Amino acid sequence: MQCSGTLSYLFNNFVRDRSFNEVVAEAKNAGFTEPDPRDDLSGTDVARKVIILARESGLKLDLADLPLEGCASAEEFMEKLPQYDGDLAKERLEAENSGEVLRYVGVVDAVNQKGTVELRRYKKEHPFAQMAGSDNIIAFTTTRYKDHPLIVRGPGAGAQVTAGGIFSDMLRLASYLGAPS
């Protein structure tokens, strides 16, 4: 699953000769990142969603079961980010030369009872490679949907999505508190 609007935006715009650091700054200025960008870029946001889906699937996973890297502070993280531009540019070029794109994804492996969060390469024909903007996508591969996974796709970041979620939560809370419907 590619379930971070921020990471989707970053890897959809990390093209040609743009540096990863430049794309991150653009996303931060557009309001697509969490207030603390480490939550997005460390994979923590994706890992939380992997845990939710894993638990809904009956697996007993915790955030500690998914290895993630971290930095001491948001400032340190942003300062160190340009150090990764060269490695990420090389990885992007290798993927492009093979007809692939980079995507940061979360995987719930129900068979092996584990979850992962990682940067992967996908052929341009793959649904994950055809994302635009800050869209999210989840592919359900099951016994029934083995050859053609069930795909759920939609917006994952931005003011409208956030406002819609908050409004939905407020209506649910009002109903719970006994407001007339």
Confidence at 170, pLDDT banded by 50, 70, 90: confident
Which of 49, 80, 90, 146 is labelled catalytic?
49
Report helix, strand or coil for 127.
helix
Tell me what the mean pLDDT of segment 142-156 comes to: 88
Full-prediction pTM beyond 0.95?
no
Q: What is the DSSP letter of 108?
A: E
49 is catalytic: yes
What is the CB neighbour count within 10 angstroms for residue 132?
10
Q: Model confidence at 100, in pLDDT bands (50, 70, 90)?
A: very high
pLDDT for 66: 85
Please state, in angstroms and rounded to a whole number, the distance separating the CA atoms of residues 93 and 58. 39
The reported pLDDT for the residue numbered 17 is 86
Tell me the per-residue pLDDT of 81-91, one tens digit each, with 9 for 90 and over: 899 899 999 99
Contact 5, 155 (CB under 8 A): yes
- The DSSP element (H or E) to which 123 belongs, if any, is strand 114-123
